């Protein structure tokens, strides 16, 4: 599927004085970068993110540019982005890697903060990034810790707590690969870590989780088939107790309360569905004969 790109006209950006990392409110645009800081472009890909994007944009006032690459949203995502003075582009979605790679190429600055529309920088992380960009970066890229927020609870334990993701980097040193799912930044150079976290508001409801699960498991199964991975019946059978034990006990989601239990069950189910979809693509299931 060919991708199309066009730029959306936008209202002129008003430059506001920088003061203690203010939140950006509707009707205001992102502030210009603080004096002395290396300019950073915040880059976000979007599709129907009106429930999330306002919260994410409100913590990016210090960025020199906020660039949105939208895959033709049908809700109010684009309108909200325009309220915050973002540069908005459109492109047909053809995979997460290719979409983010193209978005980074559109940024006007070398330093790029590439986050998702449901990720929110804490105020402490904003201050830490500003200090690093003002003093002069010691590395070519930085990994940022991230905590999941699921059904109203921030996970303090388990694999979803304090996971580090490469989100801030100099694009002269690398960019995203073209993987359809689970895309990665391929980088040449040293990578540092920051101490303060991003909050990941990944799912607002079980309904949204199920919708994403269906989409992601299909993409994951298609990717597995392309790579020649096999999923036997025995792997599918034993994946249920294996993954639940891993998520709930080994990764300590038992300490995240009821939400930790729900998360463990759902993640186990996602593995199961992906494996069955992979086998479905690889095997012609014979219909059960009618008796």
Q: Show the tokens assigned to 88.
A: 């908005």
Protein fold of 5-202: Spore Coat Polysaccharide Biosynthesis Protein SpsA; Chain A (3.90.550)
Confidence label for 147 from pLDDT (cuts 50, 70 and 90): very high
Q: Is-contact 263 150, C-beta < 8 A?
A: yes
Q: Show the tokens assigned to 190.
A: 């040293």
Confidence label for 92 from pLDDT (cuts 50, 70 and 90): very high
Q: Show the tokens assigned to 147.
A: 């905590």
Confidence label for 13 from pLDDT (cuts 50, 70 and 90): very low
pLDDT attached to residue 285? 52
Verdict on whether the full-model pTM lies above 0.85:
no
Q: Where are the domains of the chain?
A: 5-202, 205-282
pLDDT attached to residue 19? 30
State the burial class of residue 181 (Cβ atoms within 10 Å of its Cβ: 0-12, 13-18, 19+).
Answer: middle
Q: Is-contact 42 66, C-beta < 8 A?
A: yes
CA distance 257 to 289: 45
Burial letters 79-107, b for 16+ CB under 10 A, else e: ebbbbbbbbbbbbeeebbbbbbbbbbebb
CA distance 56 to 155: 19
Q: What is the mean pLDDT of residues 159-163?
A: 84
Q: What is the mean pLDDT of residues 268-275?
A: 95
Nearest 5°: the CA angle 137, 59, 61 is 70
- Phi/psi for 273 (5° steps) reads -65, -40
Alpha-carbon Rg for the chain, nearest whole angstrom, is 21
Q: Show the tokens assigned to 60.
A: 């990016």
What is the 8-class DSSP label of residue 246? I
Of 20-34, 42-56, 229-243, highest mean pLDDT: 42-56
CA distance 188 to 8: 33
Chain mean position to CA 92? 18
Q: What is the mean pLDDT of residues 136-156?
A: 94
Q: What is the mean pLDDT of residues 68-96?
A: 96
DSSP state letters, 99-127: HHHHHHHH-SSSEEEE--TTEEE-HHHHH
Q: Is-contact 118 202, C-beta < 8 A?
A: yes
């Amino acid at each position: 599927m060919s991708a199309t790109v066009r730029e959306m006209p936008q209202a002129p950006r008003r430059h506001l004085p920088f003061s203690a990392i203010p939140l950006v409110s509707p009707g205001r645009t992102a502030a210009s970068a603080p004096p002395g800081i290396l300019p950073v472009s915040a880059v976000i890909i979007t599709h129907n993110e009106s429930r999330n994007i306002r919260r994410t944009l409100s913590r990016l006032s210090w960025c020199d540019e906020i660039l949105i690459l939208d895959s033709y949203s049908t809700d109010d995502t684009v309108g909200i982005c325009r309220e915050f003075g973002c540069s908005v582009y459109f492109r047909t979605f053809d995979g997460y890697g290719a979409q983010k790679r193209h978005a980074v190429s559109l940024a006007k600055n070398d330093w790029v903060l590439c986050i998702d529309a449901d990720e929110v920088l804490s105020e402490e992380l904003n201050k830490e990034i500003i200090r690093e960009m003002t003093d002069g970066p010691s590395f070519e890229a930085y990994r940022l810790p991230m905590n999941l927020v699921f059904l109203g609870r921030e996970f303090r334990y388990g694999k979803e707590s304090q996971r580090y993701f490469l989100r801030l980097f100099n694009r002269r040193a690398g960019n995203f690969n073209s993987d359809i799912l689970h895309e990665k930044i391929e980088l040449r150079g040293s990578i540092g870590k920051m101490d303060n976290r991003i909050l990941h508001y990944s799912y607002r409801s079980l309904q949204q989780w199920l919708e994403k699960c269906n989409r992601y498991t299909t993409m994951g199964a298609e990717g597995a088939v392309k790579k020649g991975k096999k999923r036997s019946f025995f792997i599918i059978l034993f994946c249920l107790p294996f993954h639940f034990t891993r998520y709930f006990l080994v990764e300590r989601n038992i300490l995240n309360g009821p939400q930790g239990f729900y998360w463990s069950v759902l993640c186990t189910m996602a593995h199961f569905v992906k494996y069955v979809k992979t086998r479905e693509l690889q095997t012609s299931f014979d219909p059960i004969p009618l008796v």
